[in-house]
Structure 1
C-alpha cells in the first residue's frame, strides 16, 4: 500500500503539471479516467489479506480517489455556470494544449483565432450591459479569476514561440498584445459589473459558497457524520462554554464585562522591535513545559531547527496573526503602516494572545507535526486534512488549559479569545457556504462575538474565502481538536494508553481523518465498505441557537 500510494501521488502530480488548465475538458477527462482506473484496481485487491496499517491505507486511498472524482464533478458544475461569460475559453485552451502536446503551430491561423476573441469579449460586454446575461456573483467571481488564469496560460504559449518561429512572430505579435490587454480589461469589467469589486480594490472579499450539498460531500470525505446544521450547533455550544470561562477570568481581573477585560489584555503588548524576542521566549517556554511534564517526544532536531521571519504589511491583510510550521512568521506593524493599523496590529498580537499562537504554531503544534510528517509514514501526506493538521494544534490549547498552563487571568483570556475565535470560525464559515451569511456579516460576527479588531477580523474572513483554503478548513480547527480530545478521553483517561504514548502514536501515524486514526490506534475491525459513524461530540442541544 505505501508503494501504491507513493506511485499515485507522483502520477497525479505529473498529470496535474501537464494538464494544468483548470477548466480544460481534456484535463477533466484524463483525470477522471486515471482516478477511476486506480479506484477499480484498488478495489480488486484482497482487502482481508492486509494488516491493520494497510487496511487503513486502503480506506484512506479509496476515500481520496472517490473525493477527487466527486470534486471533478463539482468543478464541472461550477464551470458550467460561468461558461456564458467565457465563450472564447475553448480557443485559448486549444492553443495552449496544442503547444503542450508539441503540435505544429500555424501563425496565420493563430492570429485569426486571437482576433476572434476580441469580438466575443465585446459581445459579452454588450450583453452584460443590457442585462441579457445574468450569473450569480460567485460564478462571476470565478469567471474573473479564470480569465486571469487563461491570460497567464496564453502568455506562456506566446512566449514559447515568440522570436523562435519567425512566421509565428510576424503574424501573432500584434493580435496577442491586443488580446492580452483586452483580457486584462475584461477581467476587471466582470469584477466591477457583476461582482461589485471596483478597480484597485484589492481588499474586497467575495468567495464562492459551495452550498449544502457541497458541504455534505466534504463532510463525508472528511469522515464527519454530522450535518452542516449540527456542525453549527457544535460551534455555538462550544462558544457558550468559552464565554462562561471568559466571564470568570474577567471577574478575577475586576471586570464585570468580559469585553472590557479583553480590551485591557489587548493593550498589553510589547514595544515595536520586541515582538521577535517575545516569540522566542514563548516558544522556549512551551518546549520546556512539554518536556518537563513528559507529554510528548520532542526530537532534538525539531527543537533545534526552527527559524523566524517577519510578515509583510501586504500579507498581514490576509494573515493578521502569526503563521507557523517549519518556521514561525511574525505579524507586527512596520513603519509603513498607518497609525491606526499599527495599533490594531499590536493589540491583535498582544503578549497573551501571542502565548497561545506561538505554541500552536511551533512545539507541540505545527512545527513538531511537520517534523514527524517528513519522517514517519511520509506517503500519508497525500491525505492532508485540516481536521488533523489544525485540530492537533488546537487540541494542545485544550490540554494545556486543562493542565492550568495559562495560570493567570490575563493568560486565560488570551487562550479563551482564540478558542472563541475557533467557535466563531465554525459558525460563520459554514453559514457562509450555506448562503446564510455575507462576508461583511462574518466580519461583524468576529468583532461583536469574539472581540476582534476590525482589521484583524477582515483579514481572517479574507483568508477564509480567498480560495486558498477548503470550505471546511476553518471548521476543522475546533472539530478536529474535539475529535482528538474525545479519543484521548477514551484511551488515556480510560487507562488504555499513557499520555505520552498517545501523543507519540498520533504523530507517528501521520495525517488522516481522525476517525481513521481512531480505528488505527484502537485496532478496530474495519470493512472495505467503511462508512463514517463516530459521533464524537456527545449530546447536541437543539434548543440552543445563536
Structure 2
C-alpha cells in the first residue's frame, strides 16, 4: 500500500473463467495471496484501484457513451441498455466498502447511489409517459427504429437490403396514414402534454430515418433506386401527422403565443422530491411571500404609495436608455464584485472577474428568457429596434435599473459566474451527475439574501423594491410550478399568478411560464431558487454560529465542494455522521 493510500480506494477484481465466459466481480481487498492464472480453479485476481471519484467519472463517461450511441428515444434497446447499466452499477456500488471512506468519499458514494436510483426510476416513468401516445406513434415508430439501429450496429450478419427497407418505409407510410385517421376520431382522448411529447417524438424519428437514408444514399449501388421515392412519401406523411398533432392536440394553430406545458404528475414529483430532500414546499413559499409583501409595503410607503403595486409600477419606469444600457450593466457587475471583495466575503479570482463577456439575448429567445442569464458570460435582455412598441416597453419595464441591480450580481459575482468558475476547477466530476437547482440557483439567490441582511447594499426604497420583486417572484415560482405539475393550475393560470401576485409584465410572465413548463427544465427547478437559498442561509448560521468557519472560508468551502443537495453539503462541511442508506432528516426551516 502506497503512503497515504486508504483502504477505501483499494479493491480487487476477480476474473472467473467458465466455459469460455469471463465473469468480473468486485471484492474487498485482502492481504491473502492471490491465486495464479492457470490454476485448476481457472481464476485470477487482478488488483485495481477505483476511488469514488474515479467511479463517478467512469460512470459519467459510460453513460454518455450509451446515450450517445443508443440515441433513439423510446427504443426498447435504449431502455434495456440504460436499465441494465443502472442496475449493474447499483449492484457494484453496494459491494464497495463504505466504512473506511473519508467524509468526501462517503458524500460521493451517497450522491452516486442516489443518482443511479433516481435515474432508474425516472427511466420507468419515461416509459409510462411514452405509453400515452403509443396508439398513434408506435405503429410506424417500431420499423423506423429497427432500420436506424441496423444502420448504427453495422453487423456483418445484418445485411442491409435497400428493397426490404423500401418495403418497410412504404408500410410505415400506411401506418402514419392510419395514425392521422385515428387522431381525427380520438383526439379528445389525448392531453396537450401528450401531444407535445408525441410531436417531439415524431420529429426525432424523422431526423433518425433521414440520417439513416443519407448514410447510404449515393454509396450503396441500388439504394436510391429503391428507397428515394418511399423515403420522400414517408417524410411527407410524418410532417402531416406532426402538424396535425400540433394543431389538434397542442393547439398551436392559435399562434406562437400558445404556452405548452408538460406536467410530470404526482409520481414524477415524488421521485424528484425524494432526490432533492425537500418537504412542505408550498407552505414555505407562502410564508416567505408574506414576509416579502410586508417588506414591499414598507419600501413603497417610503415613496409615498399606499398600494405596493403602485410603487412597483413607479420603479418599473426607471429604466436605462439604449445608448448607455450596456455600460450601465457592466457597472452593476463591477459593483457586485467590488462589494464582496471589500467586505472579504468570498475569494474572487482575478480572471473570473476580468474575463466576463456581455452578450444580448435575441428577441426570439426573450420569449422564454425575458431577463438576464448568467454563467460563463452575462446575457442581457433588452428590446431591439424591430420589436413591437408594446413589447419593447414591457421589456424595458421588466429590466429596469433596480430590478437589474439584484440580477447582475446574482448572475455574475458572487453568483453563477463565480460558482461555475470555481466549480470548473474544483471537483468538476460532480458537475455532470449531481447538479441540482437547489445548489446552483440556491447559491445565487442566497447572496441576494445575505446582501439584504447586511443592510448597506439595498439602501434606497427603489433598490429594496427591485430585489423584493425577485424574492416574491421566487416564492410564486414554487407555487405555480408545483401546482402545474400536480395538475392544479393550467399554464394560463400560472401566468396570472405571476402578474397578480408578483407584478410581472404579462410578456415576461409568459416567458417565465413558457421556460419553466415546456419540459426543458426539471420539475423542481423553479422551486430550487428559494428553497436552496433558505437551506444555505440555515447552513451558514450553523457554520458561522458555532465558530467552525469564518464567513469567507465558509463561502470558499461551499464553492470548492461543488454541486450537491444542500443537506449533503451540510454533512460534508459540518462532518455529520453518514451511512450508506442516508435519508433526509434536516429540518432547515423549522415546523411549517
TM score, norm. by length of structure 1: 0.96
1:391 to 438, 442, 458: 442
Q: Indicate if the aligned counterparts of 1:127 and 1:133 stay in contact, CA closer than 8 A.
A: no
CA distance in 2, matches of 1:489, 1:280: 32
Question: What is the alpha-carbon distance in structure 1 between the residues aligned to residue 489 and residue 554 of structure 2?
Answer: 39
Counterpart in 2 of 1:454? 506
CA distance in 2, matches of 1:166, 1:354: 62
Counterpart position of 1:69: 120
How many Å separate the matches in 2 of 1:182 and 1:157?
18
Instruction: Give the match for residue 269 of structure 2.
Output: 215
Shift of 1:136: 2.7
Q: CA deviation at 1:274?
A: 2.2
1:214 is displaced (CA, Å) by: 1.3
Q: Does 1:97 align with 2:149?
A: yes
SS of the aligned residue for 1:536 comes to: coil
**What is the alpha-carbon distance in structure 2 between the residues aligned to residue 391 and residue 521 of structure 1?**
17
Aligned-pair CA distance for 1:133: 7.5
Identify the structure with bigger relative contact order (alpha carbons < 8 Å, sequence gap 6+).
1
In 1, Cα distance between equivalents of 2:358 and 2:458: 24
Cα distance in 2 for partners of 1:136, 1:313 equals 30
**1:12-71 deviations in Å (ceiling 9; x for gaps):** 111110011111110010011111111111110110011111010000000011011011
Q: After TM superposition, list the pairs within 5 Å mapping 1:254-293 onto structure 2.
A: 254-293=304-343
1:241-390 mapped onto 2 (5 Å cutoff): 241-381=291-431, 382-390=433-441
| 1:114 is aligned to 2:169 | yes
**Deviation beyond 6 Å, 4+ runs, structure 1:** none
Aligned length: 535
Whether the 8 Å contact between 2:187 and 2:249 is mirrored in structure 1 is: no
Partner of 1:486: 538
Q: Which residue is 1:543 aligned to?
A: none
1:451 CA displacement: 0.4
Specify whether residues 133 and 94 from structure 1 end up closer, same or farther in structure 2 by C-alpha distance, changes over 3 A only: farther
- SS of 2:387's partner is coil
Task: Give the Cα separation in 2 of the matches to 1:63 and 1:531.
Answer: 10
* Partner Cα separation in structure 2 for residue 292 and residue 30 of structure 1: 53
Moved more, 76-85 or 127-136: 127-136
Q: Is the 8 A contact 2:122 2:271 kept in 1?
A: no
> Matched residue of 1:325: which SS?
coil
Q: Deviations over 1:210-251 (max 9, x none)?
A: 112211110101122x1xxx2111111110100000000000
Superposed CA RMSD in Å reads 1.1
The equivalent of 1:528 in structure 2 is 580
1:431 aligned to 460, 483, 493, which one?
483
Q: Distance in 2 between matches of 1:408 and 1:418?
A: 16
Query: Offset of 1:135 from its aligned partner?
Result: 2.3
Whether the 8 Å contact between 2:439 and 2:564 is mirrored in structure 1 is yes
- Determine the C-alpha separation between the residues in 2 that align with 1:531 and 1:204: 41
**1:30 and 2:81 equivalent?**
yes
Does 1:517 pair with 2:572? Answer: no
Change (3 A) 1:132 1:347: closer
Do the aligned residues in 2 keep the contact of 1:128 with 1:134 (CA within 8 Å)?
A: no
Partner residue in 1 for 2:558: 506
Cα separation, partners in 2 of 1:97 and 1:455, compared to 1, 3 Å: same
How far apart in 2 are the matches of 1:133 and 1:331? Answer: 39
| Counterpart in the other structure of 1:544 | none
| Alpha-carbon distance in 2 for matches of 1:53, 1:132 | 53
Residue 336 of structure 1: CA displacement?
Answer: 1.2
Determine the structure 2 residue equivalent to 1:136. Answer: 191
| Alpha carbons of structure 1 residues 273 and 182: separation in structure 2 relative to 1, 3 Å | farther
- CA drift of 1:391 comes to 0.3
- Deviation digits for residues 375-424 of structure 1 (CA, Å, limit 9, x no counterpart): 11111112110000000000000000001211100000000000000001
Equivalent in the alignment of 2:212 = 157
Given that residues 222 and 513 in structure 1 are in contact (C-alpha distance below 8 angstroms), is that contact kept between their aligned partners in structure 2? Answer: yes
Q: Which residue of 1 aligns with 2:253?
A: 198
Maintained 8 Å contact 1:84/1:133: no
Q: Distance in 2 between matches of 1:467 and 1:210?
A: 9
Out of 488, 496, 519, the residue aligned to residue 444 of structure 1 is: 496
Q: Secondary structure in 2 aligned to 1:198?
A: helix
Deviations 1:125-176 (A, max 9, x none): 2222223882232212211111111111111111111111131111111111
* CA separation of 1:132 and 1:298: change in aligned 2, threshold 3 A: closer
What is the match of residue 63 of structure 2? 12
Aligned partners of 1:273, 1:123: CA distance in 2, in Å?
58
3-state SS of 1:64 partner: helix
TM-score normalised per structure 2: 0.89
Task: Give deviations 1:278-316, integer Å, cap 9, x for gaps.
Answer: 110000000100000000000111111111111110000
Determine whether 1:78 maps to 2:129: yes
CA contact (8 A) 2:195 2:245 kept: yes
Tell me, which stretches of 5 or more residues in structure 1 are unaligned?
541-546
Task: Report if the CA contact (8 A) 1:108-1:171 is conserved.
Answer: yes
Q: Structure 2: any 5+ residue segments left out of the alignment?
A: 1-51
